[in-house]
Amino acid sequence: MSEKNELSIKQRFGKAVRRRRRELDLSQEQLAERAELHRTYISNLERGELNPSLETMEKLANALDISIPAMFINYGIQVENESRKDC
């Protein structure tokens, strides 16, 4: 996978976290506390600057009261891949 695609998925995940956080009317600090993460980590993640681990994704999903699959489906994180047409 190219660096461009990797950045793209990080950015989409960060935007999904931000959108869900705002739907719940949470500050970055409140989300960080719920997820047991640092506020600056949340900020960097929402800007697409970090590549969260599966454990961190689980913490965030739990703190945002949503499943990981629902985040990917409801907030458009999935990668659109034209080669899927060939499958």
Beta-carbon count within 10 A of 69 CB: 10
Q: Which residues contact 11 (CB under 8 A, 6 or more apart)?
A: 47, 48
Stated pTM of the model: 0.79
- Angle between helix axes 39-46 and 3-23 (nearest 10 degrees) is 120
Eight-class DSSP state of 47: T
pLDDT at residue 31, as a whole number:
98
Is the distance from CB of 22 to CB of 54 less than 8 angstroms? Answer: no
pLDDT in tens, 49-75: 999 999 999 999 999 999 999 998 888
CB of 73 closer than 8 Å to CB of 66: no
